[in-house]
Amino acid sequence: MARRNPSAASYVVGAAIALGALTFLSTLAAAAFSVYVARKVITPSKKRVEDIRILGLTDTTITLASTLDSRLPGTYSFWFARGSGHARIGQILETTPTFVIRELLAVNFGDLAASERGYLAGWVYLSPKELRVPFNDVMIHAPVGDCPAWVIPAAEGTDRWVIGVHGRGVRRQEALRAVEVARRCGYTSLLVSYRNDGDAPASDDGRYGLGDTEWQDVDAAVSYAIDHGATEVVLMGWSMGGATVLQVATRSRHAEVIRGLILESPVIDWVTTLNYQAELLRIPRPVGVVATGLISQAWSGRLTGQTEPIGLNRLDFVTRAEELALPILLLHSADDGFVPPDASRALAAARPDIVTYDEFEIARHTKLWNYDPERWNNDIGSWLSRL
């Protein structure tokens, strides 16, 4: 019997089935990747990427591979050995297209000579002790539990306080840079921790709320300040801390004592920031859109690990600009590299009546003080004096 050739119809059916299976698998893969991205956004990282190679070392210098961070002028922390070692680096002594030689100011702990890589950080001070001013360790009784904080009193008695709120993935040491100018202007500083930051207790789900939940812990800090004599409070936030203090300013039960906001490299609108970061990581836009949707929907909690969705609309203060009433000092770098300045510029343009905007260049994300401490302190000092 002669063998029959498959008909054209059979080929079409087979191709359609194969195409359908491929489309299904592609859709499934995209969905899984979207869930991964969503979880990445809201899950506290347990370690930082050591993205700068150490090429050489002497008693007074360190040679680093040339990167955007290693070429930044100023004074910085340099973490190494998976965060178990810390040094301070200073002035750039020599730079080439491939390496940078900088001052090695101190090795605080760890074996730098045995390390091959590290990363740069803006929070130079590790403890209030290094500021050589009086301070107290205190606990803030927040909804999530007792959150450790530092109180650094003003040089003279005062009822004016600055509450410093650090950003995503760092700790309250980030806010130590603002203590000097606060004291000079007659303010007591309260530097706080909040849920899931490694110092304060974790939330039930162990997930960031991008400011939409953390604000409750900062509001508890406002209560603490009031209970200890504060009648005027300025909230200062870095990065996600900026998003957090904006929530406090608009949702706090203590709004009558909040006099103004200082926002450094802040997230004014999370959607703008997340879209920017997705582009940097070359994440397909549809994946980013789905991921953003997942963290803001109640039904997707089982996928993301959240116990409650994040209100991204509540976190958009470009759209909500007219709701703001407090004076705001807004500091951002044009080349931030992590949180684009677009939303900060938009807020400043929308509310020139309350926003004082100063845009830096070169300084990158949350490193404005490190890059130009004189300008940074003068900006804040002048604004606080006018306030």
User: pLDDT at position 27, please?
Assistant: 57
Q: How confident is the model over 316-346, as pLDDT tens digits? A: 999 999 999 999 999 999 999 999 999 999 9
Residue 288 or 78, more confident: 78
What residue ranges do the domains of the chain occupy?
Answer: 52-121, 128-386
Residue identified by tokens 């700790």 is: 171
Closest CA to 136 of 123, 122, 154: 154
Q: Which CATH class is domain 128-386?
A: alpha beta
The mean pLDDT value for 257-261 works out to 98
Torsion of CA 153, 154, 157, 159, to 10 degrees: -90
Residue 277 φ/ψ, nearest 5 degrees:
-65, -35
Number of H helices, E strands in the chain: 10, 14
Q: How confident is the model over 117-165, as pLDDT tens digits? A: 999 999 999 999 999 999 999 999 999 999 999 999 999 999 999 999 9
Q: Which fold has domain 52-121?
A: Thrombin, subunit H (2.40.10)
Q: If pLDDT is split at 50, 70 and 90, which confidence band does 13 have?
A: very low
Task: Give the 3-state secondary structure of residue 213.
Answer: coil
